[in-house]
Structure 1
Amino acid sequence: MMRGERRSGMGAHPSIPLVLAVMALGCVRERCYQDSDCPADKVCGASGTCVYACTTDSDCGEGFICEGHRCKPKTPHNPVTCPEDMVVVANAFCVDRYEASRPDATAYSAGKDESRATSRPGVMPWLVKDNLHAEWACEVVGKRLCTPAEWELACRGPAGTVYGYGDTYDPKICNGIDTFGPGNFHLAPTGSFPGCTNGFGVYDMNGNVWEHVLGGDERSVRGGAFNCSDSRTFHRCDYVPRTWTPAALGFRCCRGPLQTVPEGGPEAQAPDVAPDAETLPEDASEEGGGCIPTEEVKDEGSEGGLPDQGPSEPGPGDLGLAEDTTPLETEVVTPVKCPDDMVPVPWGNNKVVCMDRYEASHADATADSMGTSPVAQSRPGVMPWHVSQMSMAALMEFKAGCEAAGKRLCTKDEWFEACNGPNDTIYFFGNTWDREVCNCVDTFCDDWCAQNGISVCNTSENCGYQYYCFHVMPTGSFPKCTNAYGLYDVNGNVWEVV
């Protein structure tokens, strides 16, 4: 029946249209955007539905326990100590006191030195292009990005409040679009708002810049920023954009035991079904979530130090690590079949990950030339793909090389499993060091000593031979440099990036 049309006989049953309307409304799929949208014992999951954060301790990961379907930090056996630029959170891990900045940042300039992240007050925060740059900047100083669970715990503070400073939004406490009045919003130096903190002593978790988390992308950032219209919503500790990409993306680092994100809890994935535009929070549209672009968002650095890669569709995993941190797992119901250039390595409970048999090489590499092809291959007898000095640009090239071959870089844990082997040995080839099994600085020492009439070859003194005597070798040149998994050269020859 069309709206406004009268059907004969309806007058005798005035309640029928109402019943039909109620049934229709009952078919609408409800969505959540933050934990407060859900019952007290549930959280807002990645798909926009209310789920339990955990049901058992194993759902929470190392260092957390499940209480009342919520992951809470365990009390460690030994007190956690942190560097001066970090604070202890719940006696479980360390988090940077301030938003990350470049080493040469000042109160007026974001700087250009992209060698590492610092945590300092009174300087302009570092705006990064993507999650990968943020992770790199933390790792080079012995830290890492915070997991979503860690970030939210640090934001809520010891009292577990909605915002870092309390349960009631106050536009003047942290840097948001309402802080300086209409049209006067701007990015501020770190720690400029002394009240924008909590009992842990961490600053600017709400506002100023959005903050990347481990394994995330541009839609899994946290905390809100200075230029988004609905600061009351976006500054909440539990808010995640998920369906739109903000501007002004920064980060801060964590350190300590890696706390994994519980399945069904806050995740770094976009929802599987996008909500209708009218159901989004105020101004949270695909066009920018009400975050007003300004020249201040583009700081003096290169937002990561790499040239523009050209236009691309934004979304989960775009130039980030959302897809990279999940092992390429296959259920071991029947024997696993990996590609011919890869071997299966046991991973987790009844699962495996396929890993390259040999160190990666350019597709056009030979025994004498490294080649230049952007596609990575796993082949024996060719020069491995390597650089003399590691950089963010090189990391991006390695990552792109794997992706061009339909693969990805190994995670740190996968690499260690491959190296330790099924017998959990110290070296790839066993528990006893042997300089001739894999290619290292002393591998050719005996040859040099014999050629020069030296009877006792003292490897502790580098034998006295010249630099040209040790060199990178073609992949698979050392047949004993392997283990029961069937991988080669995991020790020696070239360092391997994960």
Structure 2
Amino acid sequence: MIRLIAAATLAALTALPLRAETALQRNNEVLFQQLQKVHRLSDAQMDRIRAIFARSGVMGQGNPAITRHPMTPAQCAARIPGGPQSYANTQFERICGGKYMAPLYDPATQKPQDATACIDQFEFPDIPCTYPVVWVKAREAEEICAAEGKRLCDAHEWEGACQGVLGPPDYRFDLAKGVSAGTAVARMRAAHNAKYAPTARWSYGPAYQRGVCAADSVKSPGCNGGGWRGCGSNTYPTGAFPGCHSPLGVYDLNGNAAEHMNLPLAPDQMTSRGSTKLGVTEMKGSWFIFDKYRAHPDWCRWRAPFWHGSRVMSTGSHENYHLGFRCCKTLN
């Protein structure tokens, strides 16, 4: 297993207290068992996922030594009418071919069965009342999605899931004009945000509301800006706030973990069109402290600056204590 871990990551991991390392491995093994059971993954799929986690050495539900989740999975289950199993939707499962996914479509002109893609209803591992996986690079997120037979979402798909309307892609492909990735993102962002600002809304409604989503947690005391040792992933269990869902039935788009998405800078970088080339990283949504500290705008179609920007498949793509992901799936 040691051969699977990159040298830099191995050095960081071996610097951790032994108890934290052991607890992380133990927590991840529980996660793997849940993942295989709920999503009916094969042993081969689980082997691929375990190898991706092993290469990281820090990926999981937070550093167990300092993470202090504000709610337990049992408390989450108790606050959901009908329990976590009530989130299962047989119509969605039939359309999407898997549990806890929601069809992406335009309700004004389409029905759910007209969808050509689906999105995870919850942050990975896409199981209600589990903590989201964080400390994951965009590359690793794409690899895990692929291992499950899914893919990383394009930015417009996440935005449509949040807004309640999957619209057509509106990407500006200025990279082809010879400008840098950062400049291309800036131009696209400015045009996109200006277009959608008049109709800005959050997944649950037209105005920001405190207490609706998983956004009332706190940073660890002395959190040093993002380090594994100093910043706990103090997230809530996914789905713990039943009112925090979009009109398309997708949860925790606002609050809990921020999420990696693919932002295409050329037509052949769209995962929704079958590309495996992929574009640059886009971080979507808000995270677990937003009811206390609004770090940036976070309405559904808002696109962020090129923060910690890289190609999605770069080995150096960003990871931190409040950054996770969810997957999409193309329907045949």
Superposition TM-score, scaled by structure 2 size:
0.43
| Bigger RCO of structures 1 and 2 (CA < 8 A, at least 6 apart) | 2
* Structure with more helix by fraction: 2
Superposition TM-score, scaled by structure 1 size:
0.29
Name which one, 1 or 2, has greater alpha-carbon Rg: 1
